[in-house]
Structure formats: structure tokens, C-alpha cells
């Protein structure tokens, strides 16, 4: 029966491409890392799962209606689209004609023509895949990363930072990883290895900020085509912090430096904790409006946490809301793991540059801490400089652990939380500069 | 964009970006230090709050607190009981 | 004063049609069943309530802006729409002119004309009712049923199924109810009793899957005009499982068969539970991409449950998220209980066919279990076959209860949970076949 | 370097206008009231915070893409828009040309031209600010206030009202504050002090309803340009109830009246509590369809609370859902605190009229209670009339407190809860009348 | 709209609005009273529910209840213990 | 569509659908059985998990567990106390 044949010809097995198979294996690898190795599972699990869904052949869950029409390339529909666009499908292959159409679509600036094409596509029975819908509603608009930032703000305690504000410099220094990586990406392009634009280079650099939602937010604005690879790199390397950082930290410090005991943090009053997020907001408003969405939501979350009068909102931001958004964000980001977008030389470049960014950020933080230790009377253990890359609270724990190796009575955790949360502010500021410069 | 141009732009971005990050966080250090000084001088230190671990949600804290309360209640009850014996 | 008159002429009492009154009574009946009889109250309560709201005269809460304009049929606005569409309102009655306009609207394929008509309607002060907005955002896009499936996946324990995988056959057999009903619907059409298309027949059949979100998902795709009746039938009959199933189960089995004791289920390892949802996803990806949204979300929820590293996401999927989506889904589905859509001969047909579907599904499951009992060495109590229709966990409890009547020491609940959850997979697969065949 | 200059020219400090600075100070004042004075912090905190964000110079977080383009007024883009609209930018200043364009845009009724203009704006790199997006999705559509009403319904106990239904009259009388204020607003316009349309007057009057979500809902429909000021006035005055009401209550009652002891409330059966929301819905459906969204959601929430079979939905409506919506609603409402919209003479008029509305509502409730006390055999303490303005449960507590001053053994709280919740119904009915009359 | 016209409209709205609010709530008083009478006459009063404070969410109540249970459990345990001594 | 055509289509859909459902679930039986065999052979059975009832949410389980803990704590405290007497 021809119907059984149709079933077979529509099956995944019949249509599975090698690239899709590779992507599915890659995504299974992400799931393995998330589940067995506990690599940032809250995001890598939904990302990996959605990555598999995005590569289910024929389902087109991560494609827009237009992309699906292009994929199936039904002759009649495509001829109608070509007529509307005023081009002739003169190529001998579907791939050639597809290129002609995509080219013509890019050149269209009359919204009436775009509406007509959409209408033709829709009439032919194509509609946006559900993962694509999540992506366009939640990530392309920036809403999901902002909501995550709200929740992260509500989970963040700035107490250690307020007790020792100088640690903000460590959070600043560690952002050098971001900008050095931008230069690296640009350099690789100059060498002809890959081909990154400045916007793409900036989005790759932000991986060095060690801050998932910031990386997603920036790359959704400056390089949406790289979002999948950048998000995967950011979360994977954040999980690798306990492996990547210690050798660098040990190489740059002496045993004696690592054993430095820091003076105990003073208690911080509630009033200071309430005013701090407002002070950050004020500075952002005055000096870097481009960072105001990210840092605004972060500060709102923190104000809700500290003010003590909206506990039910703070609880919701830390639990129900951030969890719901995390599920959708993971699915949306995973939808960008489509084989065509991910399996490129650029992805390898991103992975390589991302780890370099982490390493440079760590080193910069440590070196800055050593400099501050020289200049200041109050002792600073250089290990806490490494926590300036953010990756809250993993990097602070790493600093604590490496410190305990040198001096088993020296608990650095609280001291490292200062630069750790400073790093979040620092990378959001860096993100703002990039968006303003390139956006 | 030509390669040298791109490289120069990247370099500019690095200078500008790191410069701005440092300027911004320096301002924040100054603002924070001033704010703390003013508050410590002009307001009573009565309402100091313990420095909590970040990432610990309010509800979790409440749950822990509740459990701690229970343990305390049991302990107190038992001790009181012992004394009376 | 004419203003008081206006108030009266805009009141519900003045405008209440007999059909709307009947629908309100029907919806009160649904609320009674939900509250007093505990018939699937989580959905029937919001559905029934929204059904009342949808039939509030003049409010138009369940109508699009266009439908509201058609309902009020303001002469000037409608003349402007007719001019835009290039038709003349030659009929003598509003109803006739309405038909002319609706006909012309259907024929429009230029999106510019549609945009112009929308603009006229909007300028005349009509806007989408809020229930219509919920429907178009959450049900027409399929998002709400998918989110429900995520939560259901996170609530499902595949342990009993994994301990005895053969029970999957029972879940397969019970889907015969679906397809037999499709044939029934087509047959009624051939007899001229009702007029169902093949897509509508398929959507009706899926009621037999005894799975609310699957039924809503399929009918939103294949027969949105029947969605209200289908959803009501699906949930009402799921609640009736304890009444519908036992007589069929008793009729098809002997006392001795009903007393069969099954061997105790082996404990299932965490690893198996983690891999199972991935295995299901893999098979879906390879053989039935059309089922990948439904089963994908189901498997993601289950993986979140079992993997043990994303408990906060799993908790949210099972609680806050599924509850929020249930409220909105109920309201959206209830909005399809508009009198015009619901009070038709087709609804009676759907109600009749739905109960037939449940009965056939139950019978098929029991018969399959009897066959398996013959062929296999391991004893299978045929009662657990009835649980294959899904209706989790009601059908499993029914199997347990009927089993206890025959043998008071024989607890079948855990054994029946296997086919019960297999039925969920089975009907999602059946849904996928139908969507692929007809979509 | 010119890049540093660009950073400076894009900074907030360089672009901060005096009006924005004033608004930021006003919003800091709101935050102070919310945090230090506990003035309705659940809404005033996010409103105040979003108000600051909305006035961050250059960020345009609360502006649509079009408004941002108008703000920056890039010569080329605006010339292209002018060409598309068929007008000439003949004015000598940007401000003059802006006025020409805004005028032309208002006159456009061809959606194709609007689409073209949007396309030009979008191609020039402008996109909607995220607060604007929240506003247009959640407030302009009415969805957020409706969801709040669902949660408020689920939190409301109609027991005291059902035990003494006559207190509904008190909830009716207190709405006189609403309509007297409408007259006041219209009067101020007649005097030439301000310039309010009838729709705006109605939206201002609803402040006297002492019900935040109702005020936001009505003003989003009848006077969106005043929404910020109206919402701030409504919530601020609700918080001021303990200060505003007592003097009025004391002035209108004798010591003896304030000491009146009321007969204890009878216990109310579950069945009555279940039927009551359906009765309200029925009356709304029959007599005031325009109020059916607001009261429909309110009654659904209450039915979920009382029916006892959907506790998980009721819990979610009272917690996760209402909290999430409150955060977004606060942000969206706060986005209307843009300097241009807020710093007008009209805002001063709204603030003045709002407090008058509260005072008149309080007085009407008390006087009505005194009248009822004369006419009825059952004693009614006139203080509970003041609770008829709603502001649940603050106004009831105020009545209780003032009552205790006169008679320390006389607990009026439960008696005052009746008129208190009646006031919610009353102002929703008033809102419905206004929307029907003017919408 | 002229000023007098606007004033008249405002007055109309006031009359109509207050009138409608009173009519509606009067109908509600009647409906509620009837409903209560019918229910109290025809159904057993077994299932009366205590009048709860509004705004108190179910979960909060549960939490309180749980804590009360714990206190009760402790108290009972201690008292039982004393008796046995 | 003509009636006989419609009927035939319905019949086709039934055959195809039931066929596919059986094929798919048979594959799933095979895959599951193989998976279980491999896991049971190559991995230690240490980490077997109890078969939970579906529909029981994690949080509920936690709450129960907490309550059980409390009861256990009280019981232990009382018993310890008795011994010491
Ligand atoms: Na960082
Ligand atoms: Na099923
Ligand atoms: Na009110």
C-alpha cells in the first residue's frame, strides 16, 4: 500500500542525515554530562534534550514555517513564492533554487511582500515548530534571560561584597578574559582560520564572563546564529571550573600566598543591603544605560530579597518563576543545536576560545589580587581573585578548596563570595559596553 | 571589513571595555564605601543581619529554621523534664 | 432616559438566546459533576466555568474581534468590510449578508486585504475576547497540552512497566478503541446521520485514548471546531471509567481468570528508569516524528523526574507549572463551549461515539490480555488489560478493585500501572499516526 | 578617541533630563514608602523600581520601537518615514517635525502603510523596550489584572458576607466615592483647571473603588495615558486607609454608635459558599455582561477555593500564579511612569481627586450604615460601613480598631469583612457600568 | 464636548452608575438570602465550615496546622512520659 | 469525498494506525527488554529504587519524610530519656 510507504518515507530513520545523527550523539553526551557528571544539570539537561528534539528528522520542531517550507521544498509552493518575490528558479538543483529564494527574501524590504510570502507558506500547511516558538518568544526578545537574572538577584547575598568592597576590583579584573577572547576571535579571523564578525567575537568573548544568562542575552542580540554553541560552551565550562581553575591558580601563586589568612568580615546591616542594589541601578542608569535591562532585573531581584516586605515575591522569583523560565529557556536554547547551525568549524573555534577565556579570566583575577595585596595594608589571599570570573558559587568554592590545601584552617569561602558576585556585575557591565558599542 | 580594520576594532573594544568595567566598578567601590560609612555613622547598628550563604532560598531557610525550632523545642522539653525529676 | 434603555438593551437578560441558556445549564451540569461527583474536577471545573462565561450574552469573551463584529453586524462597519472585500450586501437579512461576508473572507488570499479588514474591525472598537486570546495563544498553538504532558511525564513512574515490559502490548491493544471509533464516525457519515470529515473522525476517535491533553492536542490540529465537545467527552468519560469498565471486564472474563495472581514485580534500577524515556524518544525520532512534540515533552518530564539532578525543575513541572497551565487550558477549552459550536447533532454523535470508543478500548485490552495469558508462561490477569486505555490512575484502580472482588488477597494495582502508562504512550503514538496521515 | 566620546554621549548622565531626574526621585520616594512604611509593597515596590528603569535616559525600556525612533529622531530614518506617510518635514526643529509625523501617523488607516513604517523603524535598529513589551502583553490586554482577580477571588472568604447579606448595601453605598469623583473630575475640567475627557474622569473615579486591579483594568481600557498615575494613586491611598478613614469615621458617628455591639455571625455552610460565586456570576451574566471578565475571574477563583475538589489549582492561584503576575504587573504599570506621561498637571489633579474619592466613599459607607441601623431591628455598628470601600483587609481592620477605641470588648473585624468584600463586588460592578457606558 | 454637556454626561453617569450598583447589589442580597434559606431548610447543617479570615492561603494554614501538630505531639509525648514515671 | 471513499480511508487509517501502534510498541518492548538485560548484567544492582506510586509529587514525599523525621526524633528523644532514668 502506498500509505505504508508514505509512513516509511516520513519516518525519521528514512530521513536521518549523518549530521543529525552526530548532533543527537552530541546531545546525548550533554545529557550524560548533566546527569552522570552533574554539569550544570538545570540547564544542560533541557538544552541537551531539546537538542535531540531539534534534530528529529522531518519534525522541524526548531524551524520556523519558512525554514520548514525551504526544507521540504515543495515545487508548487516554492514556485508561488518565487513569483511573489519576482525571481526565477533557474538553478538545476533544489539547493540552488533555495539559495536564490533565500537571497531574494533577504533583499525584500516591503512588508506587504513578506506578508504575502508568509501567507503562501501558511496556506501550504507549514507552521512554526514549537521549540522555534519558545525561542522567538523567550530568547530572541531577551525576556527569559532577564527573568533568570531576576531570580539570580533574589538568590544573591551581597553581604560579603559589602563587607569588603575592594573585592569589586577582582570582579573587574577577571573580565579581561572576555575582552582578550574577543581579540582572540578577531585574530583567528585575521588568520583566516574562521570567519567571525566583531559582533560574533564579542558574543564569544562573553563566555569568559562565566555567566549563562548574560552569555545567552548578549549572543541573542549580537550573534543569534551562534547562540547554541555559545550557551553550551558557557554552561559546560562553568561546570568545568573545578578542573580548569586550580592549576592556573597554583601556577600563579606561591604556597605562602595561598596560605594568607584574611581578616574576618564585619557584619553588614540590612540598610546597606537594601541600598546597594539601588546604588548599582543608579550607576548603571547614569553611566551605562545599555546594561540597564540585565542589571535592572538583577537589582530588582536583590532588592526584593533584602527589603523584607515582599517575601512572597522574592520566594516566587527564586523558585516557581525561575524554575519555569529555566525549563523554557533550556528548551529554547537547545533548539539552536540544529545540525546546520552547530556542526561548523566556528563551533570548534568557540569551544577553543571559550576555555581560553576562562583561563585568562582566572589568571587576571589572581594577578589583580596579588597586585592589591602589595598595595594594600589589609591582606588579600590571591586565590579569591580567581572567583572574580563569577560561576557563582562554584568558583568561590574552588578558591576555598585550593586555600584549604595550603592552610587547612583558612576558610576563604566567604571572602571569595565578594569577588564572585562582583564578577556577575562585572560581566553584565562588559555585556552592556559591547551591546552599546555594536548593537 | 578588512582584517586589519577588524583587528583594530577588536583592540578598541578591549581597551574601551576593560577601561569602562574598571571605571564603573571603581565608582561602585567609592559609592558603596561612602554609603556604608554614612549608614554606620548615622544609624544604630541594632539591626545587623547575619551574612547568609547566597543561593539559599528563603523557603529553604524557613524550612531549616522550622526544623531547628523543632529540635530546640524537643531539647528544651526534655531538659526541662529532667530538671523537674 | 435613553441611557437606562441602553443599559437594558445591553444587558444579558435582554439578549439571552435559548441556545445560550441551554449551554449555561449544560455548563452548570459540568460544574455539578466536577464538584459533587468529583468528575476530573481539575479540568471540568474551569472548563464548565469558562463555558458559562463563553455564553454570557453580549460579552463576547470567547469570540475573536471579527466574530464579535459579525455578531453585532453594525451596518456601517459591515458595509466598509464588504467594500474592502469587493462584495455587495444584497441579502435582505443580516444573516444573509453575514453569510456573504464570511464566504468572501474565506476566499481572500491576499494578506493585505485581511489586514485591511482587521484594521476596519479594530477601528470600529472590536477586540478579541480574553478567553479567545487564551485559546489562540495556548491551545491553537499546542503549547498548553504539551506543558501538561511535561508535568504528566514528571508524575509518571515507569517502574511497573519496566518490570514487565510485555504489558506494553496491552497498552497497544486498547488503542483499538480509537481506530474503531474513527470507523464508526465515518460510518455514521456514510449513513447520513452526521457529517464528519476524516480529520474530524480521527479527532473523535482519540477520545478513546482516554487521555485529555492528547485529545485536546489532536483535535486542535485536526478539528478545532469540535474541540469543546471532544474535550468534554474525553474528561467526562475518563471520570466514568469506574462505571463503564467493570461490566465489560466481567462480561469478557471468567471468575477464575479474574482471580489470577501475578508474580511479584522485580525492583527496577534507577539507571533503567533514566534510560527508558530516552529510548522512547529515540524510537519516536526514528519512526514517528509527528509524535515527537507530545512524547518529547512527556519523556523530558519523566527524565527530569528520574535523573535526580534537577529536582527543582521536576517539582515545578509537577506543581506550579502544570497547575497554572491547567487553569489556562481549562479556560481556553471551555471557551469552545459556545452555543453555536456545541449545540449540534455532531456533539450528540461525539458523545455517543466517545463512550463506544471507551468500551471497545476496554474490551480490546482485556481480550489481548487473555491472548497473552494463553501464549505466555507467566500468568497475566486479564483485568489489567482494561487499564491499557490509560485514564491514569483511575483505570488501574478499577482493575485492582474488580480483581479484589474475585480474590480479596490479590492486589493488581501495581501490575495494572504497567499497561496504564503504556496506554499513554500508545495513544500518543496513535495521535502521531493520525496527525501524520491527515495533518 | 571618538569611541570614548560616543560612550559618554550615550551615557545616562549626559542625556539625563530634569524631568527624568524628578521622576527617579519620585520613584525612590515610592520605594521608600513601600519598604520603610510598608505601603502596599507587593505592588509599589516593583512599580517604583520599574519607574526608575522607565526613566533611565537613552535606554528606552518603556518605549515602543516607534517612540524610540521618535526620541532619537535620526534624520534619514525619519525622512524615509515621512516619505512613506506622504508628508514633508517642513518644520525648523526636530520637535516640530516630530509633531508633523505623529499627526500623520494618527491619520493613517491603511494597515499596509503602518506595516511599512514599522518595517522602516525596525530596519533602522529600533525595537520595543522590554517594559513596553510587558505592558502591551499583560496590561493593555487586561490579562494581568484578570489573573490577579482570580487569585484575589481564591483568597476571599465570603463567609461573613453570607452570614449577613445586608452588608452588601454598605459595599454599594461606598461606591458613591467613585461617581462623585467622576463628577469632580468633570467639574475641574469645566472650571478649566485640567482637561479630562469623560473616559479619563471615569478612570480617575475608580481610584475611589480602593481596588488596585480594578483601577488598572478600567484605566487600561478608558484612559491608558493616565494608567501610571491612577495605579500609583490607587495603591498609595489604599495604604493610607488607616490615616484617611478614622477622622471621617469619628466625625460622622457618636461615641455611642461606635460602641454598638453586633450580634454574632451565624456559621455558613460549605454549600452556600459554593453557590454564592455562581449566583454572582449569574447576575453579572444577566444584567451587566461588561463586568463579566473581572467578576468572572473573581468568582472562578472563589469557586476554586470553596469547592474543595481543586485545592492544587486554588493554592497555585493564591501563590505562584498571583505572585508571578504581580511581579510582571508591577513592572508593566511602573513602565507608565515615564516623565512625559506622569509629570503633568493632570497627575496632580488625579492625586487630589483620588483622596477625595476615598474620603467620600468612606463617608457614604458610614452614613449608609447609620441609615440601615435606623431602619433595621438588628443593630449595625456604623463603623463597618467604612469598610465598604474595599481595600481588603485594611479597611476592615481600621473599622475594628476604631471600634475597639470606643468599646474595648467589641471586635468588629468579622462584621466588617462583609462590607469589605462587598466593596470589591461593588467596584467591579461600577467598573462594568463605566466600561459599558463609555467603552 | 462642551463643558455643560460634559457636566451633564458626568451627572448622568453618576445617576446611572450608583443606580445600577444599588439595583445589582439589591438583587444579590435577595438572591443570597433566598439561597441561604433554601439551603438551610433543605440540607442538613452537618457540613458547616468555620468562617476563615480572608487572605489566609491554604498552604499557610497547612503549615500552621503542621506546626500545631508537632507541638501537640511533643506535648503529648512529654505528658505521657510524666504519667508513666 | 464520497461516502465509499471516506469509508475506505477510515478503514485504511484503522489498519495503518493499529499496525503502527503495535509495531512501535513491539519495538519498545524489545528495546526495553534489551536495555534492562544489559543494565542488570553490567551494572551492580546496588542502586535499585523502590517503585513509587505515580502522581505522588516529590514535595509531598519530602513533607511526609520530614514529618516522619520529626516523629522519629521525638520517639528517639523520649526513649533515650527513659533509658537514662
Ligand atoms: Na562574570
Ligand atoms: Na491511552
Ligand atoms: Na471597592
pLDDT digits (tens, 9 = 90+) for D154-167: 999 999 999 999 99
Give how far E66 is from chain D: nearest CA, Å.
Answer: 17
Mean pLDDT calculated for residue range A257-269? 92
- Asked whether residue A162 carries a pLDDT value surpassing 70, the answer given is yes
CB contact under 8 A, C7 and D436: yes
Average per-residue pLDDT for chain D: 93
Chain D, 80 to 119: residues with Cβ < 8 Å from chain C are 109-112, 115
pLDDT tens, residue by residue, C105-128:
988 888 889 999 999 999 998 999
Distance CA C75, CA C96 (A): 13
The answer to whether C220 touches C396, Cβ cutoff 8 Å, is no
* pLDDT, tens digit, 9 for 90 and up, residues A83-120: 999 999 998 888 899 999 999 998 888 888 999 999 99
Beta-bridge mates of residue B49 = A268
Question: Which DSSP state fits A379?
Answer: -
pLDDT at F49: 42
Please tell me the distance in Å from D204's CA to the nearest CA on chain B: 38
Q: How confident is the model at residue D201 (pLDDT cuts 50, 70, 90)?
A: very high
Distance separating the N- and C-terminal Cα atoms of chain B: 89
pLDDT by residue (tens digit) across C318-361?
Answer: 999 999 999 999 999 999 999 988 999 999 999 999 999 999 99
How far is residue D168's CA from residue C370's CA, in Å, rounded to a whole number?
Answer: 64
Say yes or no for a CB contact (<8 Å) between E77 and F78: yes
Q: Are residues C41 and D309, on separate chains, in Cβ contact within 8 Å?
A: yes
CA distance A219 to A233: 12
Cell numbers that stand for D73 in this block:
529622531
Contacts of B73 in chain E (CB under 8 A): 70-71, 74
Strand-pairing partners, residue A269, are: B48
Q: How many CB atoms lie within 10 A of CB C378?
A: 10
Cα–Cα distance for residue pair C65/C121, rounded to 1 Å: 7
For chain E, which chains pass the contact test of at least 3 CB pairs under 8 Å?
B, C, D, F
Q: Work out whether strand C268-269 and strand A268-269 pair parallel, antiparallel, or are unpaired.
A: unpaired
What pLDDT does residue F45 have? 55
| Gap between the Cα atoms of C6 and A406, Å rounded | 85
Interface test with F, best of C198, C204, C266, C411 (most F CBs within 10 A): C198
Q: Which of D41, D65, D51, D64 is nearest to D19 (CA)?
A: D51
Q: Give chains near F: 3+ CB pairs under 8 A.
A: A, B, C, E
Say if CB A167 and CB A313 are below 8 A apart. Answer: no
Say if residue F65's pLDDT is above 60: no
Which residue of D58, D112, D327 is in closest CB contact with A313? D327
Beta bridge mates, A268? B49
Give the C-alpha separation, C339 to C307, whole Å: 47
- Nearest CA to D359 out of D195, D215, D207 is that of D207
Residue showing cell 470507523: C183
What cell numbers appear for D428 in the block? 467591579
| All three cell numbers of D247 | 477622622
Provide the pLDDT for residue D158: 96
Q: Each residue of C20-54: pLDDT tens digit?
A: 999 999 999 999 999 999 999 999 999 999 999 99
Q: What is the pLDDT of residues D289-304, one digit of tens each?
A: 999 999 999 999 999 9
Nearest bound ligand to CA D429? 3
Cell of B3: 582584517
Contacts 24+ apart (CB under 8 A), C215-220: C216/C139, C216/C144, C216/C145, C216/C329, C216/C333, C217/C142, C217/C145, C217/C146, C217/C293, C217/C294, C217/C431, C218/C431, C218/C434, C218/C435, C220/C139, C220/C140, C220/C142, C220/C145
The model's pTM is 0.91
Yes or no, beta carbons of A16 and C274 under 8 Å apart: no
- C57, D289 Cβ separation under 8 angstroms: yes
Distance from CA of C90 to the nearest CA of D (A): 26
Given a cut of 60, whether residue F70 has pLDDT beyond it is no
Under DSSP, the state recorded for F54 is: T
Which chains reach chain A with 3 or more Cβ–Cβ distances below 8 angstroms? B, C, D, F
- Residue A350 CA to residue A203 CA, distance in Å, equals 10
Q: What does the buried/exposed string (b/e) look like for A46-58 if buried means 16 or more CB atoms within 10 Å of the residue's CB?
A: bbbbbbbbbbbbb
d(CA F56, nearest CA chain B) in Å: 21
Q: Is C166 helix (H, G, I), strand (E, B) or coil?
A: coil
The reply to whether residue C319 touches residue D321, judged by beta carbons under 8 angstroms, is no
Q: Do F12 and A1 touch (CB under 8 A)?
A: yes
Model confidence pLDDT, tens digit, residues F10-32: 999 999 999 999 999 999 999 99
State whether A321 and D326 contact (CB < 8 Å).
no
**Mean pLDDT, rounded, for A388-402:** 93
Q: Please tell me the predicted confidence (pLDDT) of residue A107.
A: 86
Q: Please tell me the distance from the alpha carbon of residue C313 to that of residue C84, in angstroms, as a whole number.
A: 51
Question: Looking at CA atoms only, how far is residue C6 from chain E in angstroms?
Answer: 11
pLDDT at B59: 39
| Chain centre to alpha carbon of residue D152 | 14
Is any Cβ of chain C less than 8 angstroms from the Cβ of E12? yes
| D56 C-beta neighbours (distance < 10 Å), count | 28
The answer, for D133 touching chain A at a CB cutoff of 8 Å, is: yes
B70 touches chain E (CB under 8 A): yes
Is residue C383 pLDDT above 70, yes or no?
A: yes
Cβ–Cβ contact C289 with A under 8 A: yes
Question: CB-based contacts of C262: which residues, under 8 Å, 6+ apart?
Answer: C378, C379, C380, C381, C384, C412, C415
pLDDT value of position B74: 53
Among all bound ligands, the one having the nearest atom to the CA of C213 is 2
Contact check, Cβ <8 Å, A41/C310? yes
- Cβ distance C327 to D274 less than 8 Å, yes or no, reads no
N- to C-terminal Cα separation, chain C: 56
Say yes or no to pLDDT of E50 above 50: no
Among left, alpha and beta (phi > 0; psi -120 to 50; other), residue F55 is: left
Nearest to D285 among C56, C327, C331 (CB): C56
Write down the pLDDT at residue F79.
55
Counting one residue from chain B and one from chain E, the pairs whose CB atoms sit within 8 A come to 12
Alpha-carbon distance A383 to A380, whole Å?
Answer: 9
Query: Measured between alpha carbons, how far is C376 from C262 in angstroms, rounded to an integer?
Result: 12
Facing residues of E49 across strands? D268
Shortest Cα distance, chain C CAs vs residue E72, angstroms: 30
Kindly provide the ipTM of the predicted complex, given to two decimals.
0.89
Determine the 3-state secondary structure of A268 from DSSP: strand
Cα of A195 to nearest chain D Cα, Å: 24
With contact defined as beta carbons under 8 Å apart, do C155 and F54 qualify?
yes
Tell whether A292 lies on the interface with B, counting CB pairs under 8 A: no
pLDDT of residue A53: 97
Whose CA is closest to A238, among A213, A266, A257, A210? A210
Residues β-bridged to residue E48: D269
User: Helix (H, G, I), strand (E, B), or coil: what is residue F49?
Assistant: strand
In this prediction, residue E64 carries a pLDDT of 42
Q: Is B49 helix (H, G, I), strand (E, B) or coil?
A: strand
What residues of chain E lie within 8 A of the CB of D279, using their CB?
28, 31-32, 35
Per-residue pLDDT, averaged over D179-183, amounts to 93
Q: Kindly report the length of chain A.
A: 439
Do D429 and E20 count as a contact with CB atoms less than 8 A apart? yes
R_g over Cα of chain D: 24
pLDDT, residue F51, reads 40
Q: Residue E10 and residue D393: Cβ atoms within 8 Å?
A: no
Contacts of C61 in chain D (CB under 8 A): 292-293, 296
Residue F53 has pLDDT above 80, yes or no: no
Asked whether residue E62 carries a pLDDT value surpassing 60, the answer given is no
Does residue A375 sit at the F interface (CB-CB below 8 Å)?
no
Which residues of chain F are within 8 Å of residue B71 when distances are taken between CB atoms?
Answer: 73
Kindly list the residues from chain F whose CB atom is less than 8 angstroms away from the CB atom of residue C283.
24, 27-28, 31
Within 18-47 of F, beta carbons closer than 8 Å to A belong to: 19-20
pLDDT band at B51 (very low <50, low <70, confident <90, very high): very low
C-alpha dihedral sign at E50, E54, E56, E59? positive
Burial (CB count within 10 angstroms: exposed 0-12, middle 13-18, buried 19+), residue A25: exposed
* Nearest listed ligand to the Cα of residue D234: 3
Query: Is there a contact between C125 and C236 (Cβ–Cβ < 8 Å)?
Result: no
| Distances from the Cα of C366 to the Cα of C179, C398, C415, C416, F20, angstroms | 17, 13, 14, 12, 20
Amino acid at each position: 500500500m502506498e500509505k505504508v510507504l508514505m509512513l516509511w518515507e516520513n519516518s525519521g530513520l528514512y530521513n536521518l542525515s549523518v549530521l543529525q545523527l552526530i548532533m543527537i550523539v552530541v546531545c546525548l553526551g550533554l545529557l550524560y554530562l548533566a546527569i552522570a557528571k552533574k554539569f550544570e544539570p538545570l540547564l544542560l539537561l533541557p538544552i541537551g534534550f531539546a537538542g535531540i528534539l531539534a534534530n528529529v528528522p522531518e519534525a522541524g520542531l526548531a524551524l520556523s514555517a519558512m525554514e520548514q517550507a525551504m526544507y521540504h521544498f515543495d515545487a508548487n509552493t516554492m514556485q508561488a513564492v518565487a513569483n511573489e518575490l519576482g525571481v526565477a528558479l533557474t538553478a538545476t538543483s533544489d539547493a540552488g533554487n533555495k539559495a536564490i529564494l533565500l537571497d531574494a527574501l533577504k533583499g525584500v524590504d516591503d512588508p506587504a511582500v513578506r506578508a504575502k510570502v508568509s501567507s503562501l507558506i501558511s496556506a501550504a500547511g507549514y507552521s512554526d515548530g514549537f521549540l522555534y516558538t519558545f525561542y522567538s518568544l523567550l530568547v530572541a526578545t531577551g525576556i527569559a534571560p532577564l527573568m533568570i537574572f531576576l531570580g539570580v538577584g533574589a538568590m544573591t547575598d551581597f553581604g560579603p561584597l559589602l563587607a569588603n568592597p575592594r573585592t569589586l576590583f577582582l570582579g573587574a579584573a577577571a573580565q579581561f578574559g572576555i575582552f582578550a577572547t574577543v581579540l582572540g576571535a578577531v585574530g583567528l579571523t585575521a588568520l583566516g582560520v574562521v570567519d567571525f564578525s566583531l559582533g560574533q567575537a564579542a558574543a564569544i568573548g562573553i563566555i569568559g564572563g562565566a555567566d549563562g544568562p548574560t552569555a545567552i542575552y548578549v549572543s541573542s542580540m549580537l550573534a543569534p546564529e551562534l547562540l547554541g554553541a555559545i550557551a553550551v560552551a558557557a554552561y559546560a565550562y562553568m561546570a568545568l571550573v573545578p578542573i580548569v581553575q586550580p592549576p592556573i591558580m597554583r601556577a600563579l601563586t606561591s604556597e605562602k600566598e595561598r596560605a594568607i589568612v584574611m581578616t574576618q568580615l564585619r557584619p553588614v546591616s540590612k540598610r546597606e543591603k537594601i541600598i546597594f542594589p539601588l546604588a548599582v541601578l543608579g550607576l548603571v542608569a547614569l553611566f551605562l544605560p545599555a546594561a540597564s535591562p540585565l542589571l535592572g532585573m538583577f537589582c530588582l531581584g536583590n532588592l526584593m530579597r533584602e527589603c523584607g516586605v515582599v517575601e512572597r515575591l522574592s520566594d516566587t522569583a527564586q523558585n516557581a518563576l525561575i524554575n519555569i523560565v529555566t525549563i523554557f529557556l533550556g528548551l529554547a536554547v537547545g533548539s539552536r543545536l540544529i545540525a546546520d547551525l552547530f556542526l561548523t568549524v566556528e563551533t570548534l573555534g568557540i569551544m577553543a576560545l571559550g576555555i581560553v577565556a576562562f583561563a585568562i579570566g582566572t589568571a587576571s583575577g589572581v594577578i589583580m589580587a596579588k597586585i592589591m595585596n602589595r598595595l594594600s595594608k589589609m591582606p588579600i589571599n590571591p586565590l579569591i581573585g580567581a572567583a572574580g570570573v563569577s560561576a557563582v558559587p562554584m568558583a568561590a568554592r574552588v578558591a576555598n578548596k585550593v586555600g584549604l590545601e595550603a592552610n587547612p584552617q583558612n576558610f576563604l569561602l566567604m571572602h571569595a563570595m565578594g569577588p564572585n558576585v562582583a564578577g556577575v556585575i562585572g560581566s553584565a557591565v562588559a555585556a552592556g559596553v559591547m551591546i552599546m558599542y555594536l548593537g | 571589513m578588512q582584517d586589519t580594520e577588524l583587528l583594530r576594532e577588536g583592540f578598541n573594544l578591549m581597551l574601551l571595555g576593560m577601561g569602562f568595567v574598571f571605571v564603573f566598578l571603581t565608582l561602585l567601590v567609592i559609592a558603596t564605601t561612602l554609603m556604608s560609612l554614612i549608614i554606620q555613622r548615622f544609624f544604630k547598628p541594632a539591626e545587623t543581619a547575619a551574612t547568609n550563604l547566597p543561593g539559599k532560598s528563603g523557603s529553604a531557610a524557613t524550612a531549616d529554621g522550622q526544623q531547628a525550632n523543632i529540635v530546640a523545642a524537643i531539647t528544651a522539653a526534655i531538659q526541662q523534664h529532667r530538671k523537674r525529676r
